[in-house]
A and B are shown apart, each in its own frame.
Chain A
Amino acid sequence: MTRQGRPWPSGVTMVQILALCAPCAVVVAGDLVTRLPILIAAVIAALGLEALFAVLRRRDPGVDGLTTALIFATLCPAETAIWQVAVCVSLGVVLGELVFGGRGFGFLHPATVGLALLVLSFPQLGFAPPSQALALATLPGAAMLLALGLISGRVLLAAVATAAGLYALGGPVTAPLALATGLAFGLVFLIADPVAAASTTTGRWVYGALAGGLVAVFSPPGEITSQAVVFAALMAGIFAPLIDRLVVIAHVARWRRRHGD
């Protein structure tokens, strides 16, 4: 059942890699000369650090970093230098999960951390808006993750509804398709990530609404940018444990009231 000693993805990671294949392939194939080195650098940085931590901690190495590298290489701007990729992926992987003990022990997605660091440290980099091909390629993977229960439909629904509501409040939405294109990939792989998202039923609605609202607030009027999605995922992810905590407190209080304590 376990493959001791050899790096082999866990079941969850394997499904996520499968879901990421199509969107990542679309982006990399679109500009092979600049994108392929970025992807390779991201993979080497993520897996290298995972191997290093495995050696330091005397544990079997994992390959969860692959999903981090794939997401990072899909979303980062084409003109990102290799060393910038290496630095941001490394910091994302280390600060996002390895210091906590690996995938599932932290509370943020390492790709979110890496991308947020990239945006903050190198503001001169221009993020291109996600292409329609990328959004379309995201759909099969999203459907698979949803069917297997690895992302929560509540989070997706709440995020889309809140973002749509806020945009509608700001005036007539002229290009809803462009908004959806901008949101799709980041929503599925960064915001709805099972580790980053809230883990209680009510908490998932609140978390999704918060993330969708932040995307709308961080974006310039009339469009959704990748930076906005990354920062919305970061902020919502930071608040997710608090949301879960409040849901639990409310649950306990309700239970006590009902059963007369």
Chain B
Amino acid sequence: MGETATREDRPLQEISGPARASAAAILGTDFPGMRPRFEVAEGDRVGCGQLLFRDRKHPQIAFVAPISGRVATLQHGPRRTLSLVVIEAGDAGAGAVAPDVPDRGRVRQELLARGFWPAFRSRPFGHMPHPEARPSAIVVNAVRKTPQAPDPAGVLAAQQADFNDGLDCLTQLTDGQVFVCQSPGDPLAAVTGRITCAAFSGTRAAGFAGTQIDHLCPPTPGGEVWTIGYQDVAAIGQLFRTGIYASERVVSVSGRHVGQPRRLRAVLGLRLADVAERDAGVALSGDALTGHPAAYLSRFDDQITQVAQRRAGPGASWLRRLGGRTDALIPNRALDRALAVNIPTVPLLRALASGDAEEAARLGCLALVEEDVAALSRRCTSGADYPRLLRQVLDTLGKDAA
């Protein structure tokens, strides 16, 4: 659909049936700083869609079980934040959740209570949005991030009505536009006065919500923009149509040593060992460049990549690999082109590297999250970890704002 299938990604066009999951997890790393108040105990039997815990700060926000089974692990991290919740697949027992069609007049309350709030991320800061907040726009990211990722057009073909329904629900959360960002091709959604399709292509950065927001609707001071994945929107549509919490997403499994790259339906927070090929290397949650070795799939990844040997740290710039140690930032062209948003790169990097939060904010770092600056670390001669530096600056700014 609008995209030429290359030889490499043709095998991915078919979606194989639901992968048998032995366990699924909700990861603390996906929700940094969030403190849970558990509503179940280890050993309890829960059904798919059943409440597991609430955000201690905003008890309206519910996190629900992605699969039916037994609660195997409830783990706190530092300062009582969430570390890990694992559900082992099995019989729901008494916990089975009956379908319950939600009220379309109360979209916000239903999304909060039925476990869809964690699907949203808000800019600035890149955290889960406040339950009462009204964004100036919502960006639905349906750009195919890499050739190995599932093709959104193919995935949504079977869920067109649900996707449009979900978008309609999103318009009730904002006073502004709902943007569907997609790869060039036929519009993925029915365009209405409140729903707009925008095509992005070219570099990797086209798949980052930060780039899309920068082009469509940069957050104004005091305002915020939310982002959400396209499969989550379809799942929201399904919730309001059938009353069932849909936790299955299409993910892809690929890698140099994976015999047949494939797409399959898998639950959120899937255990990677369940779908990874044996002897095909370490399974990464994410793509080959930005993925990280993990036991469970991140809430926000739709790609599993298997690599033979995990490199130490992100791939460094050729200038860095060529020579010896340097800690300095030497401006060069690779660096100028690494940031897709309209921000002067070198001044931003200097502000981040020196921890000058005020200057970084003036330059526009509030519109960015970690993934937007990950490419800079690979290209900078200093080898600084810019995603981490950006997070520190954002945390500082968030504390000042609070």
What distance in Å separates the Cβ of A174 from its nearest Cβ neighbour in chain B?
A: 36
Contact B347 A14 (CB under 8 A): no
Say whether A83 faces chain B, with CB atoms less than 8 Å apart.
no
Cβ–Cβ < 8 Å partners of A104 in chain B: 326-330, 381-382
Question: Which chain B residues numbered 315 to 369 have a C-beta less than 8 Å away from chain A?
Answer: 316-334, 336, 342, 344, 346-347, 362-364
Complex Cα spacing A201 to B333, Å: 10
B334 nearest CB neighbor, chain A only: A149
Q: Does A237 contact B (CB under 8 A)?
A: no
B220 CB–A CB distance under 8 Å: yes
Q: Does A12 contact B (CB under 8 A)?
A: yes
Q: A12-B381, A104-B330, A200-B344 are in contact. Are A261 and B323 (CB under 8 A)?
A: no
Residue A4 interfacial (CB < 8 Å)? yes
Nearest first, the 10 closest Cβ-Cβ pairs linking A and B are A104-B328, A149-B333, A8-B324, A11-B319, A11-B322, A10-B326, A11-B323, A199-B346, A10-B323, A199-B331
> Contacts of B325 on A, CB cut-off 8 Å?
2-4, 8, 10, 60, 62
Bound-complex Cα distance A260 to B222 (A): 12
Report the Cα distance A45→B66, complex, angstroms. 67
Give Cα A17 to B322, complex, Å: 13
Residues of A within 8 A of B344 (CB): 199-201, 244, 247-248, 251
In A84-131, which residues have CB < 8 Å from any B CB?
Answer: 102-105
17 contacts between A and B (CB under 8 A): A1-B321, A4-B325, A10-B325, A10-B328, A11-B318, A11-B319, A12-B319, A15-B322, A102-B326, A102-B327, A104-B327, A104-B329, A150-B332, A194-B330, A199-B347, A200-B346, A259-B220
- Cβ of A58 within 8 Å of any chain B Cβ, yes or no, is no
Q: Are A244 and B347 in contact (CB under 8 A)?
A: yes
Q: Does B221 contact A (CB under 8 A)?
A: yes
| B318 contact set on A, CB distance < 8 A | 11
Total of A-B residue pairs, C-beta within 8 Å: 110
**Chain A, residue nearest B333 (CB):** A149
Contacts of B320 in A (CB 8 A): 1, 10-11
Closest chain A CB from B289 CB (angstroms): 17
Interface residue B49 (Cβ < 8 Å from any Cβ of A): no
A39 at the interface (CB under 8 A from B): no
Q: A8-B324, A12-B326, A248-B363 are in contact. Are A1 and B316 (CB under 8 A)?
A: yes
User: Taking A2-B324, A200-B346, A261-B220 as contacts, is the C-beta distance between A11 and B381 under 8 angstroms?
Assistant: yes
> Which residues of chain A are within 8 angstroms of B381 by Cβ–Cβ distance?
10-12, 104
Contacts A149-B333, A195-B330; is A259 near B218 (CB within 8 Å)?
A: yes
B196 to chain A, nearest CB (A): 18
**Total B residues in contact with A, Cβ cutoff 8 Å:** 32
Partner of A11, one of B321, B336, B342: B321
Size range of the chain A interface in the assembly: 35 or more
- Chain B residues with CB below 8 A from A3, complex form: 324-325
Q: Which of B332, B342, B346, B362 lies in contact with A12, CB distance below 8 A?
A: B332
Please name all residues of chain A whose beta carbon is closer than 8 Å to the beta carbon of B336 when the two chains form the complex: 149, 201
Q: Can you name the residue of chain A whose Cβ is closest to the Cβ of B328? A: A104
Q: A11-B321, A248-B344 are in contact. Are A103 and B363 (CB under 8 A)?
A: no
- Taking chain B's interface residues, is the majority helix, strand, or loop, or is none over half, making it mixed? loop
What residues of chain A lie closer than 8 Å to B316, measured between beta carbons? 1
Q: Which of A7, A12, A200, A247 is B330 in contact with, Cβ under 8 Å?
A: A12
Q: Which residues of A contact B (CB under 8 A)?
A: 1-4, 6-15, 60, 62, 102-105, 148-150, 152, 194-195, 197, 199-201, 244, 247-248, 251-252, 255, 259-261
Residue of A nearest to B335 (CB): A149
Nearest chain A CB to B166 CB, angstrom units: 28
Q: State which residues 116-161 of B face A: CB under 8 Å.
A: none
**Complex Cα spacing A248 to B360, Å:** 11
Q: Is the CB of B323 within 8 A of A8?
A: yes
With the chains together, A194 CA to B346 CA distance in Å?
Answer: 11
Residues of chain A within 8 A (CB-CB) of B317 are 11
A10–B317 alpha-carbon span in the complex (Å): 12
| Given A104-B330, A247-B344, A248-B363: A13 touches B323 (CB 8 Å cut-off) | yes
Shortest Cβ distance from A12 into B: residue: B330
Q: For residue B220, which residue of chain A has the nearest CB?
A: A259
- Indicate the member of B218, B330, B334, B346 with the most A CB atoms within 10 Å: B330
Docked-complex contact B220 and A260, CB < 8 angstroms:
yes
**Other contacts beyond A13-B323, A102-B326: 12, CB < 8 A:** A3-B325, A10-B323, A10-B324, A13-B326, A104-B381, A150-B332, A194-B330, A195-B330, A199-B344, A199-B347, A244-B346, A259-B220
- Among B220, B328, B334, the one with the most A-chain Cβ atoms within 10 Å of its Cβ is B328
CA distance A244 to B23 in the complex (A): 53
CA gap between A102 and B331 in the complex, in Å? 15
B326 A62 Cβ-Cβ under 8 A: yes
B332 and A149 contacting across the interface, CB-CB below 8 Å:
yes
Residue of A nearest to B346 (CB): A199
Whole-angstrom distance between the Cβ of B366 and the nearest chain A Cβ? 12
Tell me whether A14 and B323 are in contact (CB under 8 A).
yes
CB distance from B154 to the nearest CB of A (A): 36
A152 partner residues in chain B, CB cutoff 8 A: 333
Interface centre among A9, A149, A195 (most CB of B within 10 A): A149
User: Which of B317, B321, B381 has most A Cβ within 10 Å?
Assistant: B381
B364's contact among A105, A247, A255, by CB below 8 Å, is which?
Answer: A255
Is B323 a contact of A9 with CB atoms below 8 Å? yes
Kindly provide the distance from the CB of B396 to the nearest chain A CB, expressed in whole angstroms: 19
